[in-house]
Amino acid sequence: MLLRVLGSAAGGGSPQWNCTCPVCAAVRSRAGLARTQSSVAVSADRRRWFLINASPDVRTQIEAFPGLHPHDDRTTPLEAVLLTDAELDHTLGLLLLREARALRLYATPAVRKTLSADGSGILSTLERYCPVEWRAVIPGDELALADGLSCRAFDVPSSKRARFEAGLEHGRVVGYRLTDERSGGTLVYLPGVQSLTPALRVEIEDSECLLIDGTCWRDDELVRLGLAGRTSREMGHLPIEGQDGSLAQLPSLRVGRTIFVHMNNTNPILLEDAPERRILDEKGMEVAMDGLEVQV
């Protein structure tokens, strides 16, 4: 299986259009450091691709990746979109795919409800433009995708509620464990995680590669910068640094590669020469860039 990181930044991208924090300023001043918003594409055979989350940058992301370019008859290698939650930075791109002849969408009933007219309305709007075939994602159930590629969603407990939450509790946020039946390779995509509970650890362990929430370096990163009143954890994201941060917890997990994704524009690890980046290097942990490919 091949996974390609289409976008490695959290909502707003890096730099964020209205931000002049030190990291955004540095990213603006150097070439080649900008990142688009969080999404990955996965394929068993490089012919049929599945997106996990559809970011507001999806059009640029598809253009930047020849693997997703259309065929002569206007069909495309894009098979379906899988969603981890109903946040706008993971779902707005669905509206930009409205020219599709039809779209297959994998989401939990809770996420689907939040995207309906009762919630953000993204799904009901999209359905006015193209037929959407919804496949229910049930945490714990193995789903066959294509060509020996399968996935299993798992619940990610979070106290953060999407702005348009429609009320359903179970399945509001999920992560995906992807398996290539032929190679036996497994990979976990977890762009939003508030706390590494024992149940989550079980889902993550023994994967060859973990792509995990790297939103904030410090828990109070946005508070210190005067950009928000809430901590990283309060926004549903486990910080990297600190006693209970992911940096302290991840080394005890049995995983092959650990790659941070979904970095907020304020996170110093976006800069290759930041001291925080050296700390990750020393632990053998990686930071995703748009275009990074992982083969398992």
In the complex, what is the shortest distance from the CB of residue 242 to Zn ion, in angstroms, rounded to a whole number?
21
Q: How many amino acids of this chain bind Zn ion (CB under 5 A)?
A: 8
In the complex, what is the shortest distance from the CB of residue 282 to Zn ion, in angstroms, rounded to a whole number?
26
Please give the span between the terminal C-alpha atoms of the chain, in angstroms, as a whole number: 6
Amino acid at 67: G
Residue owning tokens 């599709």: 100
- Of 208 and 276, nearer to Zn ion (C-beta) is 276
21 touches Zn ion (CB under 5 A): yes
d(CA 207, CA 193): 17
213 touches Zn ion (CB under 5 A): no
221 touches Zn ion (CB under 5 A): no
d(CA 218, CA 245): 8
- Of 21 and 247, nearer to Zn ion (C-beta) is 21
Q: Which of 3, 24, 137, 240 binds Zn ion (CB under 5 A)?
A: 24
Extended beta strands in the chain, E state? 2-7, 39-43, 49-52, 78-82, 103-107, 132-136, 142-146, 149-155, 174-180, 186-190, 207-213, 255-261, 286-287, 293-295
Whether the CB-CB separation of 208 and 186 falls below 8 Å is answered with: yes
- Of 91 and 207, nearer to Zn ion (C-beta) is 91
For the record, the structure tokens of 139 come out as 């945490």
For the record, the structure tokens of 74 come out as 């206007």
Of 24-32, 235-243, 248-256, 281-289, the window that binds Zn ion (rule: CB under 5 A) is 24-32
Q: Which residues between 229 and 288 bind Zn ion (CB under 5 A)?
A: 265-266
In the complex, what is the shortest distance from the CB of residue 75 to Zn ion, in angstroms, rounded to a whole number?
29
What are the start-end ranges of the H helices in the chain?
A: 22-29, 58-63, 88-91, 93-96, 109-115, 122-126, 198-204, 221-224, 246-249, 275-282
In the complex, what is the shortest distance from the CB of residue 284 to Zn ion, in angstroms, rounded to a whole number?
25
In the complex, what is the shortest distance from the CB of residue 87 to Zn ion, in angstroms, rounded to a whole number?
5
11 touches Zn ion (CB under 5 A): yes
d(CA 90, CA 100): 18
In the complex, what is the shortest distance from the CB of residue 130 to Zn ion, in angstroms, rounded to a whole number?
24
156 touches Zn ion (CB under 5 A): no
For the record, the structure tokens of 57 come out as 């940058």
In the complex, what is the shortest distance from the CB of residue 93 to Zn ion, in angstroms, rounded to a whole number?
12
Q: Which of 89, 180, 221, 290 binds Zn ion (CB under 5 A)?
A: 89
Q: Which of 19, 174, 287, 294 binds Zn ion (CB under 5 A)?
A: 19
Binding site for Zn ion (CB under 5 A): 11, 19, 21, 24, 87, 89, 265-266
